[in-house]
Amino acid sequence: MNSLPKINLDRLQATIDTMAGIGAKENGGCCRISLTDEDKLGRDQFVTWCREAGCGVHVDAFGNIFAIRAGSRPDNAVVLTGSHLDTQPNGGRLDGIYGVLAGLEVIRTLNDHGVRTERAIAVVNWTNEEGARLSPGLTGSSGYAGDLDLSLARRIVASDGARFGDELERIGYAGTFSRRALDPIAYVELHIEQGPVLEQHERTISVVEGVQGVRWYEVELRGSDRHAGTTPMADRQDSFMALARIAQSMRQAVLAIDPDVRFTVGRVSVQPGSPNTVPGFSSFSIDLRHQSTGLLNRIENVLAAKAHAIGIEEGVETAICRTMIVPPIEFDKSIVETVVSIAQSAGCPSMRMNSGAMHDACRLSKVTRTAMIFVPSRLGISHHEDEWTAPDDLEAGANVLLRTITSLADQTERQLNVVAAEDVISAHPRSLER
Ligand code: GLV
Ligand code: MN
Ligand code: MN
């Protein structure tokens, strides 16, 4: 184990810095939202690096980019790693990016030392993990896992009115690579924790055992535009006032069910958006998370009931639509144990945990054996320009990834003990029945 090469931290950091320069923000963060001009430039840079590292580069119809380093075996059962290069509007320079560029660093390190693995190793950049502009997120990995039809994905409308399919073509990343051409025997994603647990426990590596369930909703409230000066308060169908009441009462109700739930209203639209018109139409997004599917189902009913009841009181029509569902995920136990023992033998203090954030790995777990590795995030900050991880931790995580990937790439199918993952995911928008 110790004879294995180590990654080059200076090179990894320089690569992260160069990527952070594309869409750089004033305070050190990054804005490289999916399928924008900045995303195109980031993708172009990644493709250049991968070609320079001797990889074959392929793009599928969802815009996912696969860089493949050949192995000594002729079959196509590769070991896949990677994450996403797109960011939040005020994003950091590591969320997703670290996993993609550490995957590239693994390949560069194997090249430096002339290591030939049995299986090929592929690094992937999934399209639109964040869902900041084009909702829902996890678009590329959902498509790859067979949970999202291409035709449906291509019709996704961005917050600025553009369509996923058109934008993919515009930036030149609507490819034809077939999923059948790449049959991963395993997928391992390295990521920053994005929460405070590792730092609080003074550990360097987290072996991620699972991910809490995530559901996204869009709530629409339809009242009527009226003059702000002449319309008595009692005669209004004010969509924003209904929105404010509904959002507050949802939060209260959800917390009463379980204080450990996560409930976020992250986007609000009020129309026509004029100071002297009572707004006739408002909408808002909900991001809801918890470990238990049963509890998420229960909360979903409560959300629908609150919207309906307050809508009637405020005289506005309400519609609530579920736009994404990622069930709680359990990762592959044997890869989890492999990572535990690799972290141990590398001398990295580690712990097991569940992820509060969702990841492309959630989708991949449906089609292949999947696990994740986390490194600490300073103060647990993420989706913020201050996102930061100590260089030693970046190095440790990339070295654990290197060892995990090479170990999987040299194991036989029998050792891998392949089992089919459950078919439990649906990404399709669904209106909630009352
Ligand atoms: C990922 O960005 C998430 O929303 O958890
Ligand atoms: Mn991420
Ligand atoms: Mn993110």
Residues with Cβ within 6 A of ligand 1?
130, 357-358
* pLDDT score at 60: 98
d(CA 130, ligand 1 centre) in Å:
6
d(CA 227, ligand 1 centre) in Å:
40
Distance CA 59, CA 283 (A): 35
Point out the ligand 1 atom lying closest to the alpha carbon of residue 383: 2
Question: Of 86, 70, 106, which Cα lies nearest the Cα of 30?
Answer: 86
Contact (Cβ atoms closer than 8 angstroms) between residue 156 and residue 134: yes
Contact (Cβ atoms closer than 8 angstroms) between residue 397 and residue 83: no
Q: Which ligand gives the minimal distance to the CA of 382?
A: 3
pLDDT in tens, the chain (434 residues): 447 799 999 999 999 999 999 999 999 999 999 999 999 999 999 999 999 999 999 999 999 999 999 999 887 789 999 999 999 999 999 999 999 999 999 999 999 999 999 999 999 999 999 999 999 999 999 999 999 999 999 999 998 999 999 999 999 999 999 988 888 999 999 999 999 999 999 999 999 999 999 999 999 999 999 999 999 999 999 999 999 999 999 999 999 999 999 999 999 999 999 999 999 999 999 999 999 999 999 999 999 999 999 999 999 999 999 999 999 999 999 999 999 999 999 999 999 999 999 999 999 999 999 999 999 999 999 999 999 999 999 999 999 999 999 999 997 655 655 433 333 333 344 566 44
* pLDDT score at 277: 98
First-residue to last-residue Cα distance in the chain? 58
251 Cβ contact partners less than 8 Å away, ≥ 6 residues apart: 263
Contact (Cβ atoms closer than 8 angstroms) between residue 188 and residue 359: no
Q: Which two tokens stand for residue 293?
A: 């599917």
Contact (Cβ atoms closer than 8 angstroms) between residue 217 and residue 265: no
* pLDDT score at 90: 97
* pLDDT score at 150: 97
Q: Which single residue is written with the structure tokens 């003059």? A: 227
Residue from 189, 383, 384, 387 whose mutation best tests the ligand 1 pocket (most atoms within 8 A of CB): 383
Contact (Cβ atoms closer than 8 angstroms) between residue 68 and residue 124: no
Point out the ligand 1 atom lying closest to the alpha carbon of residue 358: 5
Residue from 34, 130, 362 whose mutation best tests the ligand 1 pocket (most atoms within 8 A of CB): 130
d(CA 356, ligand 1 centre) in Å:
8
Q: Which two tokens stand for residue 104?
A: 């590239």
d(CA 33, ligand 2 centre) in Å:
12
Point out the ligand 1 atom lying closest to the alpha carbon of residue 88: 2
Q: Which ligand gives the minimal distance to the CA of 193?
A: 2
Distance CA 119, CA 72 (A): 6
Point out the ligand 1 atom lying closest to the alpha carbon of residue 95: 2
Domains recognised in the chain with CATH numbers: 9-212+328-416 (3.40.630.10), 213-326 (3.30.70.360)
Point out the ligand 1 atom lying closest to the alpha carbon of residue 214: 5
128 Cβ contact partners less than 8 Å away, ≥ 6 residues apart: 34, 35, 63, 84, 86, 134, 137, 138, 139, 140, 164
* pLDDT score at 129: 98
Q: What are phi and psi of 366, to 5 degrees?
A: -75, -30
> Which residue has the CA at smallest separation from atom 2 of ligand 1?
130
Residues at Cβ < 5 Å from ligand 2 ion: 95-96
3-class DSSP string for the chain: CCCCCCCCHHHHHHHHHHHHCCCECCCCCECCCCCCHHHHHHHHHHHHHHHHCCCEEEEECCCCEEEEECCCCCCCCCEEEEECCCCCCCECCCCCHHHHHHHHHHHHHHHHCCCCCCCCEEEEECCCCCCCCCCCCCHHHHHHCCCCCHHHHHCCECCCCCEHHHHHHHCCCCCCECHHHCCCCEEEEEEECCCCHHHHHCCCEEEEEEECEEEEEEEEEECCCEECCCCCHHHCCCHHHHHHHHHHHHHHHHHHHCCCCEEECCCEEEECCCCCEECCEEEEEEEEEECCHHHHHHHHHHHHHHHHHHHHHHCCEEEEEEEEEECCEECCHHHHHHHHHHHHHCCCCEEEEEECCCCHHHHHCCCCEEEEEEECCHHHCCCCCCCCCCHHHHHHHHHHHHHHHHHHHCCCHHHHCCCCCCCCCECCCEECCC
Point out the ligand 1 atom lying closest to the alpha carbon of residue 359: 1
Contact (Cβ atoms closer than 8 angstroms) between residue 306 and residue 245: no
d(CA 361, ligand 2 centre) in Å:
10
What single letter denotes the amino acid at residue 354? N
d(CA 142, ligand 2 centre) in Å:
15
d(CA 375, ligand 2 centre) in Å:
13
* pLDDT score at 425: 32
d(CA 6, ligand 1 centre) in Å:
30
Point out the ligand 1 atom lying closest to the alpha carbon of residue 289: 5
* pLDDT score at 416: 58
